[in-house]
Every structure is written in C-alpha cells, then in structure tokens.
Amino acid sequence: LNAAAVVPAAGRGERLGPGAPKALRDLGGVPILVHAVRVLARSRAVGRVVVVAPADGVAEVRALLADALGERENAVLVVVPGGATRQESVRAGLAALPDDVDVVLVHDAARPLVPVDVVDAVARTVAEGAEAVVPAVPLADTVKQVGAPAVPGAPEPVLSTPDRSTLRAVQTPQGFRRDVLDRVHTKAVAEGVDATDDAGLVERFGGRVVVVPGHEEAFKVTRPLDLVLAEAVLARRRS
Ligand code: C5P
C-alpha cells in the first residue's frame, strides 16, 4: 500500500493566545509543525507528506521544513495553501495527492509529540482492511451533556451523564482508505456538513470507523497550558 500523510497546519490557534499561527509557534527550539512532520517522516509507512500551510505562509513553511525529512530521502514533502476551516484545509491537502496514493493519514500539526508507534499502528490497521481508523484514549474526566441556561448568564443545567467507560478521546493521525476519505469530503461539500474530525465525516455518511490505542503524549496543543506540558514532555525525552 502507498500511504501519504496530510497535515492541516493552517489554523490561527487563537486559543493559544496572540502570536504566530499555532503550527509555527516554538516548541523546544523548533516550530510545532516541524516536530509533527518529523514523526510522520520517521514512519516507514509514510512515503509522502502534504503540509497545508496558512495561505500567506506557504513559502515560509517550505523553508522551515527544508530538512524535516531527515534521512528519508525517498520521501516527498509538499506544501500547499489551506482554507478557512480545518475541513477545507484537509480537502486542499487531498487535492494535492497523486493518483497512486491509496491510504491517507490525516494528522494535526498541533499534535507534535505523537509517538511514531501510533502512526505505524494506524497505517497498519488500514493496510489490514479497515476503511477508517482513529487512535483514542479513555477519558480521565466524567463528561456531562448540558443544556441552555434558563436565562442568559444563569448556570447551565445538566441533562445527562454518558457512561464514561464507553467514551474515548480521539487523536490523530486518523487513517483512511483514500477512496473513502475523498468520497466523504466531496459529500460534505455537497451537503454543507462540517465535522471536527475526518472520521466524523465517515460516520456521518455510513462508513465504519474503528479505534486503536492512542497515547497520552499525542495530546493537541490548544491552550497555553498545553504548551507548558509539551515543553516538559520534550525535556523528559531529551534527558
Ligand atoms: O483548531 P484546532 O486545534 O481544532 O485545529 C486542528 C488542526 O487543524 C491544527 O493543526 C490547525 O492548524 C489545523 N487547521 C487548518 N486550517 C484551519 C483551521 C485549523 O489547517 N482553517
């Protein structure tokens, strides 16, 4: 099987505070995105990486990634401009894939510390026949569904508490048969559907998604505290 990775990295990252686009923020001396691309490049399963950059940052991102593939000289790295939403950015990445790619891993640039074993396990599970695969971890917190407050500003009422043992927090890379991912993204555009992850589109259009174990270090850098945690994880790895 011929697998490629699409890395949406075009988000502003406003929840992280003011500054550069999230993927270009520093983590241990290197932009977050560079960490993410290096992990993908370390996976023997991945022959091509398409990075989806902010539309005004394509040249800058190309320069940053010039040596991110390390020793994988046979792997190909392409940078294309992204869109207004994550889903649009993924679509731009898919459009840049050659015809002979039959497995696609979609990996958030904002998950720079995912272990390469998780990347390999996702790719392998697609190679073994799954049409869509997500890495996921159990939840530490109990989750409540809430409703609208009676009047604006009042406390939100709790509606229900799903059984935590049946819930998983989903990470990336998410892996797909290429034909399946192309089809659901095309349908999403036609029907105006927006999802927060790609597997969500597969579910929405009747496909089958399976879970493999994720990893606590594959967390998404979203808020300032996540960056503190990421720095600590990196420091531990380097010690
Ligand atoms: O905003 P969120 O943390 O969910 O973004 C997840 C990933 O999607 C990030 O890597 C971000 O750069 C990317 N993204 C994108 N294009 C957008 C919005 C988000 O590539 N318009």
138-184 per-position pLDDT tens digit = 999 999 999 999 999 999 999 999 999 999 999 999 999 999 999 99
Give me the amino acid identity at 52.
V
Q: Which strand (E) or helix (H) includes residue 134?
A: strand 132-138
Ligand 1 atom closest to Cα of residue 21? 12
Q: Model-level pTM greater than 0.90?
A: yes
How many Å lie between the centroid of ligand 1 and the Cα of residue 57?
14
Averaged over 78-96, what is the pLDDT?
97
**What residues does ligand 1 touch, defined as CB less than 6 Å away?**
8-11, 22-23, 52, 82-86, 89, 108-110, 220, 222
Give per-residue pLDDT as tens, 175-208. Answer: 999 999 999 999 999 999 999 999 999 999 999 9
How many Å lie between the centroid of ligand 1 and the Cα of residue 74?
28
- Give the model's pLDDT for residue 163: 97
Give the torsion through C-alpha atoms of 173, 57, 32, 133, to 10 deg: 0
Residue 80, φ and ψ in degrees, nearest 5: -130, 155
Q: Does domain 3-238 have CATH number 3.40.50.1820?
A: no
What span, in angstroms and rounded, lies between the C-alpha atoms of 205 and 119? 25
**Sequence-separated (6 or more) residues with CB below 8 Å from residue 69:** 37, 38, 41, 49, 75, 77
- Give the model's pLDDT for residue 186: 97
- Is the preceding peptide bond at 173 cis, omega within 30 degrees of 0? yes
- Give the model's pLDDT for residue 68: 78
What span, in angstroms and rounded, lies between the C-alpha atoms of 208 and 195? 16
What span, in angstroms and rounded, lies between the C-alpha atoms of 153 and 69? 50
Give per-residue pLDDT as tens, 62-73. Answer: 999 987 777 787
What is this model's ipTM? 0.96
Ligand 1 atom closest to Cα of residue 109? 10
- Tell which one of 89, 114, 222, 226 to mutate to probe ligand 1, the residue whose CB is within 8 A of the most ligand atoms: 89
